Homo-oligomer: A and B are copies of this chain.
Amino acid sequence: MAVNIYDVAKLSGVSIATVSRVVNGSTKVSEKTRRKVLDVMEQCGYTPNVFARGLGLDSMKTIGILCPDISDAFIAQAVAFLEERLHQYEYDCILGCSGYDLEAKETHTKMLLSKRIDALILVSSTYAGRERHPEDVEYIKEAAKQTPVFLINGFVEGKNIYCSFCDDFKATYDVTSGFIRRGKKKILFLCDSYSYSASKKMAGYEAALRDAGYPIRGELKFYTKNRIHHVRDMLLSHKNLEFDSVVATDDGLAIGALKYANVKGLKVPDDIEIAGYNNSQLSVGCEPELTSVDNHLEKMCNDTVDYMLRVLQGDTDVPPQNEVVCEIKKRCTTDF
């Protein structure tokens, strides 16, 4: 069996209290004793038992990260940023992938909480639930009673809940307004969920139309699965559908529209202009490369970790909301 604190104490000729002090960097240890203990620890490769320590401190320096699907490029990128930062501060990450259904979100959250995580980070606006459906986020408020909860790219109001999100409304408003300015008349809106962020994007799209005196036409708003070929085929199947530009809430959807344009023989951006979202490799892997909204995910993630550290240190002045600005990466437009 592994060597424990008693072994080290015995070999060093001190008590376990002193060993504990050395391990935890207490100043109340003479330099000589500290050296001796450190030596012994080195010698026998002592590693403190995290379970025992957890029992005493009620913490294992572990953060729960819950996401719907880690194979999603945007989410994976977020988790990468989070893990890097958390690791710097010696926190470990327990990762859960819940999918998009409420029940699974709830059970995953429970499972993470049962591990006595120090904080819970929810990645993706899907956790913000649907508008006017408070029951969608009940489990989050419940979780927040036990541990601070941090939401990335979403907003839930509540005690001990902290949210970082980006200005999706403005980004989509700007993209849509750009289309209008360039003379586009029939602007398609493509989205793949009814999440908090999708709502903001749609609101931005509609506001731009409204401000330009355009009608908001329901048949130009599509909800569809985020799979390239699926989007293409869905668009092709609507024979009478006409549009001269596309505002997509994800690059995958935009690529689907691009595929549609290819099949129809439409030139991008002259015949049809397409904008994506999330600024992923996909928007750069196609031809022509697509304009895409960069929502500064890294900043959202870093801010979140910073806030988390402050909350865990007892700081009571941490802002419950944090908005990051988006940036439109222009790659393909008729504008000059």
User: How many angstroms from the CA of A112 to the CA of B72 in the assembled complex?
Assistant: 25
The answer to whether B93 touches A95 (Cβ under 8 A) is yes
Q: Does A87 contact B (CB under 8 A)?
A: yes
In Å, the complex CA distance between A252 and B282 comes to 10
Contact A94–B282 (Cβ < 8 Å)? no
Using Cβ atoms and an 8 Å threshold, which residues of chain B touch A60?
51, 115
Question: Given A70-B70, A76-B71, A93-B95, are A116 and B83 neighbors across the interface (CB < 8 Å)?
Answer: no
Instruction: Quote the shortest CB–CB distance from A57 to chain B (angstroms).
Output: 9
Q: Is A224 an interface residue (CB 8 A)?
A: no
Q: Are B62 and A71 in contact (CB under 8 A)?
A: no
Q: In the complex, are the beta carbons of B76 and A73 less than 8 A apart?
A: yes
Task: Report the nearest B residue to A282, measured CB to CB.
Answer: B285
Q: How many residues of A contact B (CB 8 A)?
A: 51
Instruction: For A287, list chain B residues within 8 Å (CB).
Output: 258-259, 262, 286-287
Q: In the complex, what residues of B have CB within 8 A of residue A73's CB?
A: 71, 73, 76, 281
Contacts of A262 in B (CB 8 A): 287
* CB-defined contacts of A80 to chain B, threshold 8 Å: 69-71, 97
Tell me if B50 and A115 are in contact (CB < 8 A).
yes
The secondary-structure label for the interface of chain A is helix
How many copies of the shown chain assemble into the complex?
Answer: 2
A54 within 8 A of B: yes
Out of B47, B55, B93, B111, name the residue touching A55 (CB < 8 Å): B55
Q: Chain B residues near A236: list those with CB within 8 A.
A: none
A77 within 8 A of B: yes
A96 at the B interface (CB under 8 A)? yes
Whether the Cβ atoms of B49 and A55 lie closer than 8 Å is: yes
CB contacts (< 8 Å) of A286 on chain B: these are: 285-287
Other-chain contact of A50, B65, B116, B228, B281 (Cβ < 8 Å): B116
Q: Does A225 sit at the interface, judged by CB under 8 A? A: no
For the complex, what is the distance from the CA of A48 to the CA of B282, rounded to whole Å? 45
A69 to B: closest C-beta gap in Å: 6
Q: Which residues of B have CB within 8 Å of A49?
A: 55, 116
- Of all chain B residues, the one with the shortest Cβ separation from A76 is B76
**Please, how many angstroms separate the alpha-carbon atoms of A69 and B167 in the complex?**
28
Residues from 40 to 68 in A contacting B, C-beta threshold 8 Å: 47-52, 54-55, 58, 60, 62, 65
The 6 closest A-B pairs by CB, nearest first: A51-B54, A76-B76, A71-B80, A95-B95, A51-B55, A255-B285
Known: A70-B70, A71-B73. 15 other contacts (CB 8 A): A48-B114, A51-B54, A51-B55, A62-B115, A76-B76, A83-B95, A87-B96, A92-B111, A92-B115, A94-B94, A95-B95, A228-B284, A281-B282, A285-B285, A287-B287
